[in-house]
Amino acid sequence: MQKHNQLEVDKRRTFAIISHPDAGKTTITEKLLLFGGAIQQAGEVRARKSARYATSDWMEMEKQRGISVTSSVMKFTYRDFEINLLDTPGHNDFSEDTYRVLTAVDSVLMVIDSVKGVESQTKKLLEVCRLRSTPIMTFINKLDREGREPLDLIDEIESVLQIQCAPMTWPVGMGKRFRGTYHLYRKELTFFDPDAEQGTGQIATMNDLADPRLDELLGSQVEELRNDVELLEGAAHPFEEEAYLAGLQTPVFFGSAINTFGIQQLLDTFVDHAPSPLPRAAQSRVVSPYEEPFTAFAFKIQANMDPAHRDRIAFFRICSGKFTRGMKVRHVRTGRDTQLSNATIFMAQDRTNVDEAYPGDIIGIHNHGTIKIGDTFTQGEDLKYTGIPSFAPEHFRKVRLLDPLKSKALEKGLTQLAEEGTTQVFRPLMGSDWIVGAVGVLQFDVVMHRLEYEYNVRATYEPVGYVTARWVTGDKRKLDEFQKREAMACYLDGEGRLAYLAPSQWRLDNTMENWKELEFHATQEHN
């Protein structure tokens, strides 16, 4: 097949950083942007992060929305590459947004704190990456602190995260004794010098580890390095690009982000080896990024970017073809053709209107609620991208309306918020109380606040005894019977699909055992 736009596609890298809070994601983002010339001084990204963090209150978050949106996608160039870094939500709460962002990238960077090792959120995020075999590079951060033994950390990543590690660099000492890293392939010793600009001191190239110059340069610490690498040779794996691209192996770098140490080594390997935009599965076929017709799918929706206009912005990942301003596209779910004259591309500092964009790029489309998560745009083909899931919520609240006359507005608000992917809504088969379900509890506050300010609905939450949900499908007769017998626990989600809400894991297991003919799904694709 002819490779359309080949140069543009091949030089793009679209990725996200995954880490447990405080491992150093913001710091690394900032350093990457500095290398990419997208920001001029350290502190810019941090200022945005604190602006977001300082405000657990949604009101304040709304004031800051311009900021958080700008940083949702950061585009920068490095060497000849065009890099799109997609931000995953910064708060500690785990949200569906994070999952969905991961469906829009071609690879991820995993940051691990060398003091803490593998933490819970990293584990969860990695599971999501595994669903799509996303290639992962690893940066072990904070080597300037007394952390865990590097060999231990490698061992932990391999056993807990179930992924092979291929160390690319190896640290010499840590904390006060941190001298730098040795690049196992380039055979370069890079000295750490916290006083030097960007923390990088002298770089010395060796013949191999036996080189006597190493003894001169490292003194007594050379033995540690040699011993470690000898152990590594027995235990770790050499870097294999194929295994990395298949998501089976992660190249590992060590450094100190705050001192910009190790970042450039990582970035160079990243642009050289991370995948350019990959082919993507649609329901009917797999679409190559080199195809000429434009296609894109919505993975994230953010509301009311401009409080004066009350509109929403849908983030589309381009999968094939070329976007040009004013082009006509087919909105496949509705079957309507629309003109994309008002698209935004996201830069590190600013949102700017865009004239051209290519596979791997993210464009933002303003709309008034017509676009839903998972929607596909094409140039006429009846195509639907797959793999943008909803996950079974783990937290539930019953919504009690304070003004009974507002039930229509409540329904509208909850349904629209669910379409944006903020939360999921469930309407009972029996009774009238809506249930809101979320993957992380922070979303509950967001929903209440937005119901009040955007939909003029006052409501409160009441606790409700559910712990998980499953979407149920199967033979119609059996489903009818199930709905009769389990009516109290049966709900319809925002898209009208049958869901079973379970009060305990035990109860869920039991129900599934009793209804073997039916299928219970923990995830659901957006229609």
Binding site for ligand G4P (CB under 6 A): 19, 21-27, 46, 141-142, 144-145, 256-258
Q: Report which residue type is found at 24.
A: G
- The angle, 0 to 180 degrees and rounded to 10, between the axes of the packed helices 221-235 and 150-161 is 20
Q: Shortest Cβ distance from residue 376 to ligand G4P (Å)?
A: 32
Q: Shortest Cβ distance from residue 192 to ligand G4P (Å)?
A: 11
Q: Report which residue type is found at 142.
A: K
Task: Name which of 24 and 135 has its Cβ closer to ligand G4P.
Answer: 24
Task: Name which of 195 and 208 has its Cβ closer to ligand G4P.
Answer: 195
Answer yes or no: is 23 a known binding residue. Answer: yes
Answer yes or no: is 25 a known binding residue. Answer: yes
Q: Tokens for 252?
A: 């590992």
Answer yes or no: is 142 a known binding residue. Answer: yes
Q: Shortest Cβ distance from residue 478 to ligand G4P (Å)?
A: 47
Strand 323-324 and strand 136-141: pairing? unpaired
H helix runs in 19-176, sequence order: 25-35, 44-53, 58-63, 65-70, 96-103, 120-131, 150-161
Q: In this structure, what are the phi and psi dihedrals at residue 301, rounded to the nearest 5 degrees?
A: -130, 135
Task: Name which of 258 and 392 has its Cβ closer to ligand G4P.
Answer: 258
Task: Name which of 256 and 443 has its Cβ closer to ligand G4P.
Answer: 256
Q: Shortest Cβ distance from residue 165 to ligand G4P (Å)?
A: 20
Q: Shortest Cβ distance from residue 290 to ligand G4P (Å)?
A: 35
How far apart are the C-alpha atoms of 340 and 396, rounded to whole Å?
38
Tell me which residue has tokens 């071609």. Answer: 106
Q: Shortest Cβ distance from residue 125 to ligand G4P (Å)?
A: 12
Answer yes or no: is 309 a known binding residue. Answer: no
- H/E stretch holding 411 reads helix 407-420
Residues 347, 340 contacting (CB under 8 angstroms): no
Q: Shortest Cβ distance from residue 413 to ligand G4P (Å)?
A: 32
Answer yes or no: is 144 a known binding residue. Answer: yes
Task: Name which of 5 and 259 has its Cβ closer to ligand G4P.
Answer: 259
Q: Shortest Cβ distance from residue 115 to ligand G4P (Å)?
A: 9
Answer yes or no: is 437 a known binding residue. Answer: no
* Residue 362 vs residues 95, 299, 357: alpha-carbon distances, Å: 20, 10, 8
Residues 366, 317 contacting (CB under 8 angstroms): no
Tell me, what DSSP letter sits at residue 211?
Answer: -
Task: Name which of 19 and 249 has its Cβ closer to ligand G4P.
Answer: 19
Q: Shortest Cβ distance from residue 144 to ligand G4P (Å)?
A: 5
Sheet containing 200-205: give its strands across. Answer: 169-172, 180-183, 188-192, 200-205
Q: Shortest Cβ distance from residue 259 to ligand G4P (Å)?
A: 6
Residues 83, 73 contacting (CB under 8 angstroms): no
Answer yes or no: is 20 a known binding residue. Answer: yes
Task: Name which of 170 and 316 has its Cβ closer to ligand G4P.
Answer: 170
Q: Nearest to residue 206, comparing CAs of 192, 227, 223, 185?
A: 185
Answer yes or no: is 122 a known binding residue. Answer: no
Task: Name which of 117 and 289 has its Cβ closer to ligand G4P.
Answer: 117
3-state class (DSSP) for residue 109? strand
Answer yes or no: is 90 a known binding residue. Answer: yes
Residues 27, 97 contacting (CB under 8 angstroms): no
150 Cβ contact partners less than 8 Å away, ≥ 6 residues apart: 114, 140, 167, 170, 171, 174, 228, 254
What's the number of CA atoms in the CB half-sphere (13 Å) around residue 431?
14
Task: Name which of 51 and 248 has its Cβ closer to ligand G4P.
Answer: 51
336: exposed, middle or buried (Cβ count in 10 Å: 0-12, 13-18, 19+): exposed
Answer yes or no: is 103 a known binding residue. Answer: no
Task: Name which of 26 and 468 has its Cβ closer to ligand G4P.
Answer: 26
Q: Nearest to residue 188, comparing CAs of 164, 165, 213?
A: 213
Answer yes or no: is 92 a known binding residue. Answer: no
Q: Tokens for 525?
A: 């694709």
Answer yes or no: is 141 a known binding residue. Answer: yes
Answer yes or no: is 511 a known binding residue. Answer: no
Residues at the binding site are 19-26, 87-91, 141-144
Residues at the binding site for GTP are 19-26, 87-91, 141-144
